């Protein structure tokens, strides 16, 4: 198991120490995401007049909304990937079936060509026999 990382981040102008098994870069990205959300809200009229609790709830709701939208997007992409995998499997199956049919047709064609050559020889033999009589 990897070791726990500790890093200091700035969120909403305050320094916090975060720790976790994720990389320092990841923890900084999380803090940057939260700072972006907070910055977006600060630009909304009336946000500053809300109580700190209400601002926290608003931030949490918005973050949860982002999470569920991304989770749904991931599920859609996984479903698309699964459908594409199924399509690829079916196409491969069709390709193999077509290759088998082609091989069988080529064998049949060769057999017919061999038979034709035999019959041509037989025609020449019979024509020669008729001429010699």
Q: Which of 6, 33, 25, 28 is nearest to 17 (CA)?
A: 6
H or E stretch covering 14:
strand 14-20
Position 133 scores a pLDDT of 76
Q: Is the pLDDT of residue 1 over 70?
A: no
Distance, CA of 6 to chain centre: 34
What digits encode the pLDDT tens for the residues 12-29? 999 999 999 999 999 999
pTM given for the model: 0.65
Q: Is the pLDDT of residue 2 over 80?
A: no
- Do the domain assignments include residue 118? no
What digits encode the pLDDT tens for the residues 48-106? 899 999 999 999 999 999 999 999 999 999 999 999 999 999 999 999 999 999 999 99
Instruction: State the residue range of the domain holding 24.
Output: 1-48
| String of DSSP letters for 75-114 | HHHHHHHHHHHHHHHHHHHHHHHHHHHHHHHHHHHHHHHH
Position 118 scores a pLDDT of 97
- Do the domain assignments include residue 10? yes
Count of the separate structural domains present in the chain: 1
H or E stretch covering 64:
helix 52-131
For 55-67, letters b (16+ CB in 10 Å) and e give beeebeeeeeeee
- Do the domain assignments include residue 96? no
């Amino acid at each position: 198991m990897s070791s726990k990382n500790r890093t200091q981040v700035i969120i909403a102008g305050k320094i916090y120490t975060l720790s976790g098994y994720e990389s320092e870069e990841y923890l900084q990205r999380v803090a940057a995401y939260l700072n972006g959300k907070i910055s977006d809200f600060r630009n909304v009229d009336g946000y500053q007049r809300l109580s700190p609790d209400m601002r926290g709830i608003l931030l949490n709701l918005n973050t949860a909304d982002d999470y569920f939208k991304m989770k749904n997007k991931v599920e859609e992409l996984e479903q698309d990937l699964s459908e594409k995998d199924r399509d690829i499997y079916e196409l491969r199956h069709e390709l193999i079936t077509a290759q088998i049919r082609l091989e069988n047709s080529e064998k049949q064609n060769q057999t017919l060509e061999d038979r034709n050559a035999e019959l041509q020889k037989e025609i020449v033999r019979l024509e020669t026999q008729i001429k010699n009589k």
